Structure 1
Amino acid sequence: MPLQTGPCMAWPTELCCETEGKEPEEIERWTLIASQILWALSGRRIGPCPVVVRPCKRACLESSPVSFQAGIGTGPWIPYIGSDGLWRNASVCGCKSDCSCGELCEVWLETPVYDVTEVNIDGQVLPATAYRVDAPGRLVRTDGECWPDCQDMSAAPGQPNTFSVTYRWGLPVDEAAVAAVSELTCHLMKGCGSGSCGCKATQRGATRFIRQGVEMDFGDPTLIYKEGRTGLPLVDLWLSVVNPYRLTSPSRVYSPDFKRPRVTTWP
């Protein structure tokens, strides 16, 4: 499930339909509805939306057995049994990447990461030069220090002994998305007028017509919605580009090495 349950705001539009006589509040409402529909149909990835997370440092171990000193090495090593049933030794000093000779101090963020606006440790904001983001969603410390091993989760972000990351999650609303949401907004405003209890443009029509020996069959216009499409050329073209396989949510891979960050949802 994504971090957001809907778009954090209405997407920008360039309406090509007649809006005379429409109240700004009504236009804004239908723009938000169109944005919510396209956000869901596009795989719940379009943003970007700000989010504050409390990350957990990457772990080398699947458990915490008793440590012991190896014969040679740079520090303590811990034996453990992996998920495949084999014994291995893990260092408590950090984790080595498969493409790095040394330790990488990194935490995992939900993707897609648009940008990082703030990293706060113990109430101090780190400069942007102290970290970088590696795909997919690895926040890597680059100033020679390392992320905290633990933090006080009962304290608010910015307090002593806390670690929080503020970043924007999601893909940008590009020009194609603006064109798509503009077309859908106009469609909804035309068929769902103010005060109406239903959308006239989407009502089910006749599927079979027989008269004077002539029989005609029409497709059910509502079946296209089951395929995650709207019947609007520009909207469906955009959906076929950004979500060709009709995914309902972003695909993700889970790793025992990266702990999921904690996100406060209320208050």
Structure 2
Amino acid sequence: MPLRIGPCEPWPFDPVCCNLPDGVDEDVIDRQRVVATFILWALSGRRVGPSCPYTVRPCRRACLDASPLTVNWQTAGPWIPYLGRDGAWRNASVCGCKSDCSCGELCEVRLEAPVHDVLAVEIDGVTLPQNAYRVDSAGLLVRTDGGCWPDCQDMAAPCGAPNTFCVTYRIGLPLDEAAITAFSTMVCHLVKDCSGGCGCNVASNKNLSRLSRQGVDLEFADPTLIYSEMRTGIPAVDLWLNAVNPYRQTSPSRVFSPDFKRPRLQIWP
């Protein structure tokens, strides 16, 4: 089951270039912000903006999970012999990994990426301070206070109970100025249609492609074709969509490996 199911709150709205009609109800704006957030989140490949918060139960990855030498560390004790790249035999600790980049053992767990922010990390019901960890790409939660993440936990117990390890975080790429501008333009378009204004000279709910009147013929782009191409017909919005999702992906790309244990997510009750 994928972790991301959509945003829980609307994106930031900048009404500077909106030119909304006077007397527009704030409830109408708030409602269209929610609509525009979901539309642009979906059209951008479901990757941009913070998702709903998720609380997961991470699984530690030992040093030899991806090693061709299959050794059962439960029977080998806290140290496991392994063959390094230089041909020398060494002992690997199951509590951390020593690599070419890190001089010492680095305690880390992998979260589903891209990580937007980490809201809370709880061990045995105690919330760690934010300076006790950091997030490295891609989705690595690294312990920085000298401690280490639990080797195992009681998966039958709820978060906050003894012998549990829970991380609450959000997924998604950060919203930059271009994203906020495109989103604000989309909100203005929807609000004008809803309040009797004119969005892009043609209301967005009319499939008008050709108009002939008094000897004048006007042709418009077919809205159904625009929508089928995962575009909106609003220039400022489509420019942003072309930049962030040029290949019109409908969902984020994902790589699965049997060597990596994905964090456990409770879905019911």
1:13–1:182 Cα contact (<8 Å) kept: yes
Distance 2:119 2:73 in 1: 39
Determine the C-alpha separation between the residues in 1 that align with 2:3 and 2:112.
Answer: 8
CA distance in structure 2 between the aligned counterparts of 1:238 and 1:28, rounded to whole angstroms: 22
Alpha-carbon distance in structure 2 between the residues aligned to 1:118 and 1:215: 60
Q: Give the whole-Å Cα distance in 2 for the aligned partners of 1:42 and 1:225.
A: 13
Change (3 A) 1:145 1:232: same
Equivalent position of 1:83 in the other structure: none
Change (3 A) 1:128 1:189: closer
Distance 2:187 2:211 in 1: 30
Shift of the 97–207 alpha-carbon distance from structure 1 to 2, 3 Å rule, reads: farther
Residue of structure 1 equivalent to 2:86: none
Question: Partner amino acid for 2:237?
Answer: V
In the other structure, the counterpart of 2:9 is 9
Letter in 2 for 1:104: L
Is 1:18–2:20 an aligned residue pair?
A: yes
For residues 91-102 of structure 1, what are the structure 2 equivalents within 5 Å? 91=92, 93=94, 94-102=96-104
* Partner residue in 2 for 1:55: 58
Relative to the length of structure 1, the TM-score reads: 0.77
In structure 2, runs of 5+ residues without a counterpart are 84-89, 197-201
2:34 to 20, 27, 32: 32
Q: Which residue of 2 aligns with 1:118?
A: 120
Question: Are the equivalent residues in 1 in contact too, given 2:20–2:192 (CA < 8 A)?
Answer: no
Instruction: Give the direction of change, closer, same or farther, for the CA distance of 1:151–1:217 in structure 2 (3 Å limit).
Output: same
* Matched ranges for 1:70-85 at <5 A: 75-77=79-81
- SS of the counterpart of 2:33? helix
Partner in structure 1 of residue 47 of structure 2: 45
Percent identity between the two aligned chains: 56
Tell me what 1:174 maps to. Answer: 176
TM-score of the superposed pair, with normalisation by structure 2: 0.77
Deviations, residues 122-177 of structure 1 (Å, cap 9, x unaligned): 12222333322211011122333321121112222121010011223222222222
- CA distance in 2 between counterparts of 1:12 and 1:237 reads 19
Whole-angstrom CA distance in 1 between matches of 2:178 and 2:19:
17
Q: Which amino acid is the alignment partner of residue 51 of structure 1?
A: Y
Name the CA shift for 1:143/1:66 in 2 (closer, same or farther; >3 Å). closer
State the secondary structure of the residue aligned to 1:201: coil
Q: Distance in 2 between matches of 1:152 and 1:263?
A: 14
Q: Does structure 1 conserve the Cα–Cα contact (< 8 Å) formed by 2:73 and 2:79?
A: no
CA RMSD across the alignment:
3.5
The number of residue pairs the alignment matches comes to 249
What aligned pairs does 1:150-161 form with structure 2 within 5 A after superposition?
150-161=152-163
Q: What SS is found at the alignment partner of 2:29?
A: helix
Instruction: Output one character per residue of 1:55-107: Cα deviation in whole Å (capped at 9) or x when no partner.
Output: 1111433777587769xxx834499xxxxxxxxx9956244435335433211
Distance (whole Å) between structure 2 residues aligned to residue 90 and residue 34 of structure 1: 55
How many Å apart are 1:111 and its aligned residue? 1.3
Distance 1:165 1:187 in 2: 38
Match of 1:103 among 102, 105, 108: 105
Relative to structure 1, the CA distance from residue 228 to residue 90 in structure 2 (aligned partners, 3 Å threshold; closer, same or farther) is farther
Q: Report deviation, 1:262.
A: 1.5
> Residues 109 and 68 from structure 1, CA distance in 2 versus in 1: closer, same or farther, beyond 3 angstroms?
closer
